[in-house]
């Protein structure tokens, strides 16, 4: 699947995981439901497991056992900054206008969401036969139904001098004008809309996790189409590169290949489906136990697996911006098209150290791809990623890297297609 198609198929985390799941299934991977016993595993087996419908973990078992060879892991995350619809969301305004009450998810550049064609995607929960296992449906409204209108410059003469935006006041999207022709259920236009889209009874809808997304499809920019512009490149472009590398070679590897796509990185990873959860470590422990000769030995085998594993924590990096050169480190500022980026931080916000970086450098050399380095300007605070968070419960060697992009956390980010293609090559070489 090409990157543009992957991005267009993945408006929110649930759809990203569903897209990856479909690609894995088509490639012969079998689903292991985590609530069921771990299956017997042998060399060459392909399996995946999901958590919350928003995180997914795939394994292609190697000729060496997990204890003997560890794993080669590529990790990324499925979520991106956006706006979540609150319960009881409708706010009726003068003139029959209806807007939705939302809250910010993650650290979005809020102004970029204004005056755009927006819609809704996520999951809807319906009443089921079992109280603790309700039915879950994915929902994507494939047409623009929302917009967040800007305030005209005539009412805000200082708008180009910088404006502080209120999440509660300025960022609420307009849904519709109330019409007597449109039916409502319990006074809820939104619930009526969701029911119609799913073809269900509105009274069967218990709750939903719905998010705003920009309906503008991914596309190429630049004189030669060398750049891609899309929402959610951070971090779905890395998830796509990892998936493509995992599926590049169907032959049984010597060492187990693993693709780990976590959720909630943009809000700190401290959820059941995030990198701060023990879920991933638990999956690996169960796989190790299946390969262990005795119950007692699997504790030793798991420790050996962790020590012999290596993880590439793949999350995008900041490309040098031609209009803001003062924001970057003078000697470590990656450029568009210059190759994948190794990220360093003295305070250990990134997983990278000299050993981990060296492993990635060798993978780049093997793939015939260039690489770059990124370190924050010492006077500018940077972000963190899931690498160091995961390593607190799964103490694996590794490196933090990503492709350089512009506009990180904007509703539309920009990246180099050459960097993306090189990243897939490097990931493939790393897995070999």
What pLDDT does residue 82 have?
Answer: 98
Q: Does residue 224 fall inside a structural domain?
A: no
Considering the domain architecture, whether residues 254 and 386 belong to the same structural domain is answered as: yes
Tell me, yes or no, whether 296 and 393 share the same domain. Answer: yes
> Cα-Cα-Cα-Cα dihedral of 388, 391, 393, 395, to 10°?
-150
If one counts every other C-beta atom within 10 angstroms of the C-beta of residue 149, the result is: 12
What is the structure's pLDDT at 344?
95
Give the global pTM: 0.95
Q: CA-CA-CA-CA torsion for 92, 98, 103, 105, nearest 10 degrees?
A: 170
Domain that holds residue 116: 82-214
pLDDT of residue 178: 67
Over residues 74-102, mean pLDDT: 95
- Would you state the pLDDT for residue 303? 95
State residue 209's pLDDT score. Answer: 97
Q: Are residues 289 and 426 in the same domain?
A: yes
Cα dihedral across residues 228, 231, 235, 241: positive or negative: negative
The answer to whether position 226 is within a domain reads no
User: What mean pLDDT value characterizes the chain?
Assistant: 94
Contact 222, 8 (CB under 8 A): no
Shared domain for 247 and 331, answered yes or no, is: yes
- List, as one string, the DSSP characters of 20-65: HHHHHHHTT-EE--TTSPPPP--TT-EEEEEETTTEEEEEE--SS-
Q: What is the pLDDT of residues 182-210, one digit of tens each?
A: 545 455 899 999 999 999 999 999 999 99
The answer on 95 and 43 residing in a single domain is no
Query: Cis bond leading into 235, ω under 30°?
Result: yes
* Same domain assignment for residues 114 and 59: no
pLDDT at 296: 66
- CATH code of residue 245: 3.40.630.10
What pLDDT, on a 0 to 100 scale, did the predictor assign at position 391? 87
């Amino acid at each position: 699947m090409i990157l543009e198609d992957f991005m267009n198929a993945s408006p929110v985390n649930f759809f990203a995981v569903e897209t990856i799941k479909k690609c894995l299934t088509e490639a012969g991977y079998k689903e292991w439901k985590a609530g069921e016993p771990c299956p017997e595993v042998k060399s060459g087996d392909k399996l995946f497991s999901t958590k919350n419908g928003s995180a997914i973990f795939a394994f292609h078992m190697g000729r060496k056992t997990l204890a003997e060879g560890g794993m080669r892991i590529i990790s990324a995350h499925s979520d991106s900054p956006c706006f979540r619809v609150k319960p009881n969301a409708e706010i009726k305004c003068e003139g029959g206008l209806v807007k939705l009450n939302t809250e910010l998810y993650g650290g979005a550049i809020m102004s970029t969401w204004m005056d755009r064609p927006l819609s809704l995607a996520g999951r809807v929960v319906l009443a089921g036969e079992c109280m603790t296992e309700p039915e879950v449906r994915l929902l994507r409204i494939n047409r623009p139904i929302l917009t967040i209108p800007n305030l005209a410059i005539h009412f805000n003469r200082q708008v180009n001098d910088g404006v502080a935006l209120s999440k509660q006041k300025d960022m609420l999207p307009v849904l519709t004008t109330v019409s007597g022709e449109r039916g409502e259920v319990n006074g809820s236009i939104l619930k009526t809309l969701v029911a119609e889209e799913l073809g269900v009874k509105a009274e069967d809808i218990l709750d939903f996790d719905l998010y705003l997304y920009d309906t503008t499809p991914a596309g190429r920019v630049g004189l030669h189409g060398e750049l891609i512009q899309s929402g959610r490149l951070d971090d779905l472009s890395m998830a796509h590169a990892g998936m493509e590398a995992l599926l590049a070679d169907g032959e049984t590897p010597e060492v187990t290949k693993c693709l780990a796509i976590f959720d909630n990185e943009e809000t700190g990873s401290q959820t059941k489906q995030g990198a701060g959860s023990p879920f991933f470590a638990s999956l690996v422990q169960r796989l190790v136990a299946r390969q262990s000769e005795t119950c007692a030995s699997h504790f030793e085998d798991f420790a050996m697996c962790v020590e012999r594993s290596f993880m590439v924590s793949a999350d995008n990096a900041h490309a040098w911006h031609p209009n803001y050169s003062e924001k970057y480190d003078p000697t470590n500022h990656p450029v568009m098209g210059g190759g994948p980026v190794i990220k360093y931080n003295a305070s250990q916000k990134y997983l990278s150290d000299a050993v981990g970086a060296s492993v990635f450098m060798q993978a780049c050399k093997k793939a015939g791809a260039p690489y770059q380095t990124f370190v924050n300007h010492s006077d500018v605070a940077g972000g963190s990623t899931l690498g160091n968070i995961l390593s607190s419960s799964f103490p694996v060697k590794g490196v933090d890297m990503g492709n350089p992009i512009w506009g990180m956390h904007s509703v539309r980010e920009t990246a180099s297609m050459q960097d993306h293609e090189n990243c897939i090559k490097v990931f493939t070489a790393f897995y070999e």
